[in-house]
């Protein structure tokens, strides 16, 4: 197809501002689906997406649109997630586009992720079209929202399109703006092939689907292609686009977005950000590709049934291909056996992966408490990163213990500035500045330790701002702090999966909280169970779970007291033996109780 009649665009917005609903309307208005097929969030096809009502994976779909100038255009929409954890998915999608629709809620206005995604699109030098959604709401503040778009984002508010994705109002205006304002892709069809791999998907029957955006050249069925970074050659056995269902085509030209099927079954042969070229006529240099995503939250995942270990490894391998921001490596735990150390972009990302493994792949998991990546400088001068509390060396060899620091932007009403400042102060935050976005709304910027953000900062923010506050964060580096490793001992044995890294000033308090919480989570046994928190060799907190006590003298009515004493003595000796040999069963909830920072 002539590149002049192609438009590649993404929809970016804050979470819940209506991206998926607008995408569905664009499909309906261009005839990609019929009214009968139309249903909410059509592109969100993962079970976890339907259940939570959010987009997790970017999806691509090719639309055919007949403009008023009489020409038929191919519009390639790459749907993107909105949650802060999936910002990497957004950046990948934007690299395959020339323009973006920036969606803003007609009542809520510019929010934290709106700002982050707008800046990501500006960095990629994309044409941005502001779209005000939900104009059918009974209460809107469209003029104020357009003013925020101009003052906060620096975009021209006069070209904004006003739509209601739910009611299907003004969707035609949106399609016309895409054709008229987003530039056509550049690239010669007869140049050496260069196509960017922006995503991939594993199918157990067909193999790996490689999603590509062609920058130059043409690819046809039967061609032999080469992955420039991987260096492997493969024959193209199928080529096509999603419209929205998979549809085969004869060739893909410059500017087009589609998939290539080569029969690859080895998952590690496809790298996101790689460049596809012809084996016989390779391109001189590869496309820039992507920066590797930095996992910031790590946790252990172990199969409840040890026989599921190989199955879990296979499922994680497939998941890592579909989601390049997820990583895993085998590890062992004295308490839990064989499992994997997994890396995620954030807490929601971690929950989504666990949910997909348990519900879609039917694997029962025990998950340990997550922690962030730390940096350690030893007295010898060696500097390295750790993502597992078990890897912390003895305090004597540590010169400096550093934690990751994030710059956090809160957008909230001016009435909630005080509670948020108090919340950040309690979490060792460093105030940076306040900007007013209008008479009633402000953007507050803080630098906070990442460990204080990822666990429950989002929930606390929603709680103190009555649900209206939003936040976005990015990791800016590492900073030295007075950190220590806190071990948990159950019945005198250190439980490696419960170890955590805490700030020294808060260690005693956290230790007491954690012991109390574990006392509630671990059920009573036939023997007494001491629970202790320790830093090095020093015990800083202790709780004791008392033993079950069976009334062994119940049958003795009256008579000689020595009979009762004999029975009690026998019970006492039995409990003493149990204390030596009995093992404590620790439930899944206990491993996650490390997370909570609430006071009891």
pLDDT of residue 588: 64
pLDDT at position 549: 67
pLDDT value of position 203: 77
pLDDT value of residue 581: 45
What the block records as the tokens of 501 is 């890294």
pLDDT averaged over the chain?
A: 81
| pLDDT at residue 131, as a whole number | 93
Owner of token pair 């990948």: 92
Top-confidence residue, 187 or 573: 187
d(CA 172, CA 174): 5
Name residues whose C-beta falls within 8 Å of residue 42's C-beta, 6 or more positions apart in sequence: 20, 23, 24, 27, 33, 244
Whether the per-residue pLDDT at 384 is higher than 80: the answer is yes
Residue 566 has pLDDT above 90, yes or no: no
- Residue 138: other Cβ atoms inside 10 A: 5
The most confident of 84-98, 446-460, 544-558, by mean pLDDT: 446-460
Residue 42 has pLDDT above 60, yes or no: no
Burial track 95-112 (b if 16+ CB lie within 10 A, e otherwise): bbbbbbbbbbbbbbbbbb
Q: What structural domains does the chain harbor?
A: 3-181 (3.40.50.300), 194-278 (2.40.30.10), 297-369 (3.30.70.870), 375-480 (3.30.70.240), 484-592 (3.30.70.2570)
More confident residue, 69 or 145: 145
CA proximity to 346, closest of 519, 88, 174, 5? 88
Q: Say if residue 233's pLDDT is above 70.
A: yes
The predicted structure's pLDDT at residue 325: 76
Residue pair 409/444 in contact (Cβ under 8 Å)? The answer is yes
User: Which DSSP string do the residues of 446-476 spell out, in sequence order?
Assistant: EEEEHHHHHTTHHHHHHHHTTT--EEEEEEE
pLDDT band for position 280 (cuts 50, 70, 90): confident
pLDDT digits (tens, 9 = 90+) for 348-372: 788 888 888 887 777 788 888 788 8
Query: Do residues 324 and 293 touch, judged by C-beta distance below 8 A?
Result: yes
Phi–psi pair at 226, nearest 5 degrees: -130, 135
Q: Is the dihedral of CA 298, 369, 346, 60 positive or negative?
A: positive
**Which of the residue ranges 14-23, 78-87, 166-175 would you say has the lowest mean pLDDT?**
78-87
Cβ proximity of 151 and 116 under 8 Å: no
- Residue with the bigger pLDDT between 448 and 286: it is 448
Q: Kindly give, in sequence order, each residue whose CB lies less than 8 Å from that of residue 3, ignoring residues fewer than 6 positions away.
A: 184, 185, 186, 187, 253, 254, 255
Any idea what DSSP says for residue 391? G
| Rounded Cα–Cα distance for residues 371 and 450 (Å) | 10
Annotated binding site: 16-21, 133-136
Most confident of 82-86, 93-97, 381-385: 381-385
The H or E element spanning position 208 is strand 207-216
Task: Note the pLDDT of residue 56.
Answer: 46
Cis peptide before 442 (omega within 30 of 0): no
The pLDDT assigned to 557 comes to 66
Stated pTM of the model: 0.72
3-state secondary structure 579-598: HHHCCCCCCHHHHHCCCCCC
Instruction: Give the per-residue pLDDT at 440.
Output: 80
Sign of CA dihedral 160, 161, 162, 165: negative
Share of the chain above pLDDT 90, in %: 10
Angle at 99 between CA 245 and CA 469, to 5 degrees: 95
3-state secondary structure of 185: coil
Give the mean model confidence (pLDDT) for residues 410-427: 88
**Which residues are annotated as part of the binding site for GTP?**
16-21, 133-136
Lowest mean pLDDT among 61-65, 557-561, 591-595: 591-595
Instruction: Give the H/E segment covering residue 197.
Output: strand 194-203
- Greater pLDDT, 294 or 147: 147
Helix-strand-coil percent breakdown of the chain, rounded to 5? 30, 35, 35
Q: What is the pLDDT of residue 600?
A: 41
Q: What is the structure's pLDDT at 80?
A: 67
Task: Indicate whether 238 pLDDT > 50.
Answer: yes
Residues 579-599, mean pLDDT to the nearest whole number? 60
User: How wide is the angle at C-alpha 144 spanned by C-alphas 140 and 149, nearest 5°?
Assistant: 115
Dihedral sign (CA 232, 233, 236, 242): positive
φ, ψ dihedrals at 362, nearest 5°: 60, 50
The number of beta carbons lying within 10 Å of the beta carbon of residue 314 is 12
């Amino acid at each position: 197809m002539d590149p002049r009649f192609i438009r590649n665009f993404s929809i970016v917005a804050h979470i819940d501002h209506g991206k998926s609903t607008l995408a569905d309307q664009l499909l309906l208005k261009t005839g990609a689906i019929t009214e009968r097929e139309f249903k909410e969030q059509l592109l969100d096809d993962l079970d976890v997406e339907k259940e939570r009502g959010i987009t997790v994976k970017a999806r691509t779909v090719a639309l055919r649109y007949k403009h008023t100038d009489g020409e038929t255009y191919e519009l390639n929409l790459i749907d993107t997630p909105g949650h802060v954890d999936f910002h990497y998915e957004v950046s990948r999608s934007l690299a395959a586009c020339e323009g973006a629709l920036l969606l803003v809620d007609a009542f809520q206005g510019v929010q934290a992720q709106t700002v982050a995604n707008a800046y990501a699109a500006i960095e990629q030098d994309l044409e941005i079209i502001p779209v005000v959604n939900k104009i059918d709401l009974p209460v809107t503040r469209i003029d104020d929202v357009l003013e925020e778009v101009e003052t906060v984002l620096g975009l021209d508010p006069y070209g904004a399109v006003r739509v209601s994705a739910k009611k299907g109002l003004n969707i035609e205006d949106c399609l016309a703006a895409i054709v008229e304002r987003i530039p056509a892709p550049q690239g010669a069809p007869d140049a050496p092939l260069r196509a960017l791999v922006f995503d991939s998907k594993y199918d157990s029957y067909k193999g790996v689907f490689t999603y590509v955006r062609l920058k130059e050249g043409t690819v046809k069925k039967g061609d032999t292609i080469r992955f420039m970074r991987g260096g492997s050659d493969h024959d193209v056995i199928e080529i096509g686009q999603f419209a929205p269902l998979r549809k085969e085509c004869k060739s893909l030209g410059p500017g087009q977005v589609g998939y290539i099927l080569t029969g690859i079954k080895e998952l590690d042969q496809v790298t996101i950000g790689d460049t596809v070229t012809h084996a016989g006529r390779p391109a001189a240099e590869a496309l820039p590709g992507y920066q590797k995503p930095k996992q910031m939250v790590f946790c252990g995942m172990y199969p409840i049934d040890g026989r599921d270990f190989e199955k879990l490894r296979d499922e994680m391998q497939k998941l890592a291909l579909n989601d390049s921001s997820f990583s895993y490596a085998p590890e062992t735990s004295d308490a839990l056996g064989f499992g994997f150390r997994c890396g995620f972009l954030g807490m929601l990302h971690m929950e989504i992966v666990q949910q997909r493994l348990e519900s879609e792949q039917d694997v029962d998991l025990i998950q340990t408490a997550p922690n962030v990546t730390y940096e350690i400088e030893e007295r010898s001068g060696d500097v390295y990163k750790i993502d597992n509390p078990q890897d912390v060396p003895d305090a004597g060899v540590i010169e400096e213990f550093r934690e990751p620091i994030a710059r956090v932007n809160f957008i909230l009403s001016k009435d909630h500035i005080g509670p948020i400042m108090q919340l950040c102060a309690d979490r060792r935050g460093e105030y940076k500045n306040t900007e007013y976005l209008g008479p009633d709304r402000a953007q507050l910027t803080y630098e906070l330790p990442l460990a204080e953000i990822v666990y429950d900062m989002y929930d606390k923010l929603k709680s103190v701002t009555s649900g209206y506050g939003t936040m976005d964060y990015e990791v800016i580096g590492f900073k030295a702090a007075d950190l220590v490793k806190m071990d948990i001992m159950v019945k005198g044995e250190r439980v490696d999966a419960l170890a955590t890294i805490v700030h020294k000033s808060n260690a005693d308090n956290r230790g007491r909280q954690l012991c109390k919480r574990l006392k509630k989570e671990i059920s009573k046994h036939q023997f007494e169970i001491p629970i202790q928190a320790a830093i090095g060799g020093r015990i800083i907190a202790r709780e004791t779970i008392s033993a079950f006590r069976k009334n062994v003298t119940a049958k003795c009515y009256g008579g000689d007291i020595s009979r009762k004493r004999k029975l009690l003595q026998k019970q006492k000796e039995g409990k003493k033996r149990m204390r030596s040999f009995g093992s404590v069963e620790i439930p899944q909830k206990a491993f996650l109780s490390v997370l909570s920072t609430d006071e009891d």
